[in-house]
């Protein structure tokens, strides 16, 4: 791989890690808010319109979706 492509690849890895960390922090806040409310994923599912499976995938980090994060934030009153 050329030096140029190596630099791009490295920067892409850094950006990916930063985005992943942002989602981890958001997920931690969502878990905190669910606990405060006494909610389960099923309650969040009903409030957002997403299936429980989709909520579970998002919360374990298997699915990253800005649209879904915004919807959850709105329902829970979390700033993004």
pLDDT tens digits along 33-77: 999 999 999 999 999 999 999 999 999 988 888 999 999 999 999
Cα angle value 8/61/77 (rounded, 5°): 110
In angstroms, the CA 9 to CA 75 distance is 36
What's the confidence (pLDDT) of residue 20? 74
pTM (2 d.p.): 0.76
pLDDT at 14 over 80: no
Predicted pLDDT at 2: 78
Residue 7 has pLDDT above 70, yes or no: no
């Amino acid at each position: 791989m050329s030096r140029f492509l190596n630099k791009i690849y490295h920067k892409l890895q850094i950006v990916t890690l930063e985005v992943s960390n942002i989602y981890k922090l958001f997920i931690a806040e969502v878990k905190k808010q669910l606990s405060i409310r006494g909610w389960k994923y099923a309650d969040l599912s009903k409030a957002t319109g997403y299936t429980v499976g989709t909520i579970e995938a998002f919360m374990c980090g298997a699915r990253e979706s800005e649209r879904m994060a915004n919807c959850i934030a709105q329902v829970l009153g979390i700033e993004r």
